[in-house]
Structure 1
Amino acid sequence: MALKRPSWWERRAGLALLALPLSLLFFLVSSIRRRLYRAGLLRSVTLPVPVIVVGNLAAGGSGKTPVVIWLTQALHARGFHPGIVSRGYGGSASGPQRVSADSDPGLVGDEPVLLARRTGFPLWVGRDRVAAAQALLHGSPEVDVIVTDDGLQHYRLGRRAEVVVLNERILGNAWLMPSGPLREPLERLAGVDLIVANGELSPALEARLPRPAVSMTLAPGGFYRLDDPQQHCEASHFPAGRVHALAGIADPERFFASLRSMGLRLASCRAFGDHENFLREDLSVPEGDVLLITEKDAVKCAALAPADCWVLPVDAQIDDAALAPILERLHGSEAA
Structure 2
Amino acid sequence: MNTSSFTQAMHTAWKKKGLISTLLLPVSWVARAFIARKRLRYQRNPGLSHQSRLPVIIVGNIYVGGTGKTPVVIALVQALQAHGWRPGVISRGYGAKVGKQARTGQGQLDPALFGDEPALIAQATQAPVAVHPKRVLALLQLQEAYPQVDVIVADDGLQHLALGRDLEIVVQDGRAIGNGRVLPAGPLREPASRLDYVDILITNLQPGETPPKPLKAQTWQLSMQLAPVRVEQLSTGISMEWAAWHVSHRQQAASAVAAIGQPERFFAMLSAAGLQLNQTVALPDHDAYDSSPFTTLSDPIILITGKDAVKCRRFNDSRLWVVYAEPVFSDPSWLEFCHQRLTVIASQKSAMADKTPRL
With normalisation by structure 2, the TM-score equals 0.86
Q: Partner of 1:320 in structure 2?
A: 332
Once the 2 structures are TM-superposed, how far is the Cα of residue 300 of structure 1 from its aligned partner?
0.8
Show CA shifts across 1:152-179 (max 9, x none): 0001011111111121336432210111
CA deviations over 1:235-280 (Å, ceiling 9, x no partner) = 2332636211111111211211222223222121111121112243
* 2:180 pairs with 1:174: yes
Out of 233, 236, 257, the position equivalent to 1:225 is 233
Alignment partner, residue 112 of structure 2 = 106
Percent identity over paired residues: 37
Q: Is 2:230–2:239's contact at 8 Å kept on the other side of the alignment?
A: no
Q: Does 1:216 align with 2:234?
A: no
Contact 1:62 1:250 in 2 (8 A): yes
Q: Tell me which residue corresponds to 1:330.
A: 342
Write the distance in 1 (CA, Å) between the matches of 2:318 and 2:166.
46
The answer to whether structure 1 residue 261 and structure 2 residue 272 are counterparts is yes
Secondary structure of 1:269 counterpart: strand
- The CA distance in 1 between the partners of 2:55 and 2:190, in whole Å, is 24
Report the CA distance shift for 1:8/1:176 in structure 2 as closer, same or farther (over 3 A). same
Deviation at 1:34, TM superposition (A): 0.9
C-alpha change, 1:203 and 1:117, in structure 2 (3 Å) is closer
Which residue in the other structure is 1:55 paired with? 60
Farther off after superposition, 87-96 or 137-146: 87-96
Aligned residues: 334
Aligned partner letter, 2:310: V
Candidates 18, 39, 42, aligned match of 2:23? 18
Contact 2:67–2:171 (CA<8 Å) still a contact in 1? yes
Which residue of the other structure, out of 139, 154, 161, is the alignment partner of 1:148?
154
Once residues 216 and 82 of structure 1 are traced to their aligned partners in structure 2, the CA distance between those partners, rounded to angstroms, is 23
Contact 1:170 1:181 in 2 (8 A): no
**Could you tell me how far 1:286 is from its partner in structure 2?**
5.3
Which consecutive residues of structure 1, in runs of 5 or more, have no partner in the other structure?
none
Answer whether contact 2:57 2:168 (CA < 8 A) is retained.
Answer: yes
Please list the CA deviations of residues 166-205 of structure 1 after superposition, one character each: whole Å capped at 9, or x if unmatched.
Answer: 2133643221011111011221112111111211786763
- Tell me the distance in 2 between the aligned counterparts of 1:208 and 1:177: 24
Q: 1:283 aligns with which of 275, 294, 309?
A: 294
Over 3 Å counting, the alpha-carbon distance change for 1:240 and 1:285 in structure 2 is: farther
2-side partners of 1:150 and 1:243: how far apart? 33
Greater shift in the superposed pair: 82-91 or 31-40: 31-40
Contact 2:83 2:339 in 1 (8 A): no
The one-letter amino acid paired with 1:176 is V
Match of 2:143, SS state, is helix
Contact persistence 1:206–1:212 (CA under 8 A) = no
- Structure 1 counterpart SS, 2:59: strand
Counterpart Cα distance in 2 of 1:116 and 1:49: 20
CA contact (8 A) 1:2 1:274 kept: no
Change (3 A) 1:285 1:224: farther
> Take 1:164 and 1:70, find their aligned partners in 2: how far apart are those partners?
14
Rounded Cα–Cα distance in structure 2 between residues aligned with 1:204 and 1:223: 31
